[in-house]
Amino acid sequence: MRSGTVVAGFEITYRGCLASDGTLCGPLPAFTDDTELLRQLYRAMVRARVFDTKAVNLQRTGKLGTYPSCLGHEATHVGVGSAMRAEDVLFTVYREIGTKFWRGVDMLDVLLYWGGDERGTNYRRTPQDFPFCVPIASQMPQAAGAALAIQIRGEPRCVLVFIGDGGTSQGACYEALNLAGVKQLPLVCVIVNNRWAISVPVSAQTAAQTLAQKAIAAGIPACQVDGNDVLIVRETVAQALERARGGGGPTVIEALTYRLSDHTTSDDATRYRAANEVEAAQRIEPLARTRRFLESRGLWNEQAEAELRRECGEAVDAAVKQYLATPKQSTDSMFDFLYAQLPPALRGQREDARRYSALKT
């Protein structure tokens, strides 16, 4: 080979369809013929936001623990959820309630989890899904393992794993993508680039032009999408899942969005980012454009909006009521799920916990 020969190259394509003003900036995916589905997508986004607003308020009034808001991520989360099949396996970080709700996780479960109760991870409708994952990027190797299990068993299922922009700096991210490439696993990875890992902007996280291109080194096809465009997220993820289901291997999709909230309720983002940046991001947030799009097609109006807001408010209030009325678990629960059977050496400690807890009440 001649010295100086180019031996590898790559391109990352950006995809979008719904512009921030609700007009079209790309071809409409075929699924948009289903007008009821379009309305469902919008409803799910609003439901996530109404829940999110309430959850932050609950934390502010001391009724919920630290909570990571999903404000601004609704299109990515709902788009992904709607593209998955019920039997697929979902691995999330800790913000993706829009995806979880779409898959049938109850609002009560999410409240219980952030309210300090492990019962909130007991997803009845998708019992194969993993719970929220707090240690950054540690869900990635597990997702690769779940995809490997599916491949070994020859099942027509896929794994979808979320990771954030900060998570792409972790070794576990590369390790998992590398395995997915080597074994051609049925894995779709959605990198939610919301521009901020707590106080660190993406520019300080990596010198790469895109996060999607991190897949290239693992030999995985990748693209970048407008993560505030629920239509393109759903379409791109659905195509990737379909390819994976047919044995076509993994895909990485970078969804560009913006964390409009603080990192969590314990954070104050005004300490590290400019108000004008957040204001600019507000103008391209996902809900308004989706509503405008629906209205332009005669699929939505003021009355439908009012009705939806009322429904969501009622659903959230009912979940909150149930959450606040849920008594805490017994201290036995600290011990009873450590092993299939409690080791004899722990029986004494379980008794102690019971006794002291009874004294306190």
Partner 1 sequence: MGKMTMVEAINMAHAWEMAQDPSVIVLGEDVGTNGGVFRATAGLQQRFGKQRVQDTPLAEGLIAGAAIGMAAGGLKPVAEIQFMGFIYPALDQIASHMARLRNRTRGRLTCPLVLRMPHGGGIHAPEHHSESLEALLCHHPGLRVVCPSSPARAYGLLLAAIRDPDPVIFLEPVRLYRHARQDVEDDGRALPIGHCITLRPGTDLTIVTWGALTVDCLKAAEQMSPEGVSCEVIDVSTLAPIDFDTILDSVVRTGRLLIVHEAVRTAGLGAEIAAVVAEEALYDLEAPIRRVTGYDTIMPLYRLEHDFIPGVARILDGIRATLSV
Applying CB under 8 A, which residues contact partner 1? 89, 118-119, 121-123, 127-128, 130-131, 135, 138, 140-150, 152-153, 159, 171-172, 175-176, 178-179, 182-183, 333, 337-340, 343-346
Do 220 and 252 touch, CB atoms closer than 8 A? Answer: yes
Whole-number Cα distances in Å, 305 to 34, 98, 287, 315: 19, 18, 12, 15
Which residue, 148 or 200, is less far from partner 1 as judged by CB?
148
DSSP state, residue 246: T
Token pair belonging to 231: 């239509």
From the candidates 77, 157, 195, 263, give the one annotated as an active-site residue: 263
- Please report how the helices 74-83 and 230-245 are oriented relative to each other, as an axis angle in degrees rounded to 10: 30
User: Least Å distance between CB 293 and partner 1?
Assistant: 37
User: Least Å distance between CB 89 and partner 1?
Assistant: 7
Which residue, 53 or 184, is less far from partner 1 as judged by CB?
184
Do 115 and 155 touch, CB atoms closer than 8 A? Answer: no
Residue in 86, 221, 251, 264 with CA at minimum distance from that of residue 161: 251
Residue in 171, 158, 18, 20 with CA at minimum distance from that of residue 89: 158
Indicate the burial class of 53 (C-beta count within 10 angstroms; 0-12, 13-18, 19 or more). Answer: middle
- For this structure, is 347 an active site residue? no
Whole-number Cα distances in Å, 301 to 36, 228, 292, 296: 14, 21, 9, 10
The torsion angle over the Cα atoms of residues 221, 225, 231 and 233, rounded to 10 degrees, is: 50
From the candidates 272, 283, 297, 355, give the one annotated as an active-site residue: 272
From the candidates 195, 259, 289, 291, give the one annotated as an active-site residue: 259
- For this structure, is 272 an active site residue? yes
Which residue, 161 or 240, is less far from partner 1 as judged by CB?
161
**Which residue matches tokens 């075929």?**
30
User: Least Å distance between CB 266 and partner 1?
Assistant: 20
Which residue, 299 or 334, is less far from partner 1 as judged by CB?
334
Whole-number Cα distances in Å, 111 to 52, 124, 324: 10, 15, 9
User: Least Å distance between CB 333 and partner 1?
Assistant: 7
Which residue, 60 or 119, is less far from partner 1 as judged by CB?
119
Q: Spell out a b/e string for 341-353, using b for 16 or more CB atoms within 10 Å of the CB, else e.
A: eeeeeeeeebeeb
User: Least Å distance between CB 300 and partner 1?
Assistant: 38
* Greatest Cα pair distance in the chain: 81
User: Least Å distance between CB 264 and partner 1?
Assistant: 18
**Residues annotated as part of the active site:** 259, 263, 272
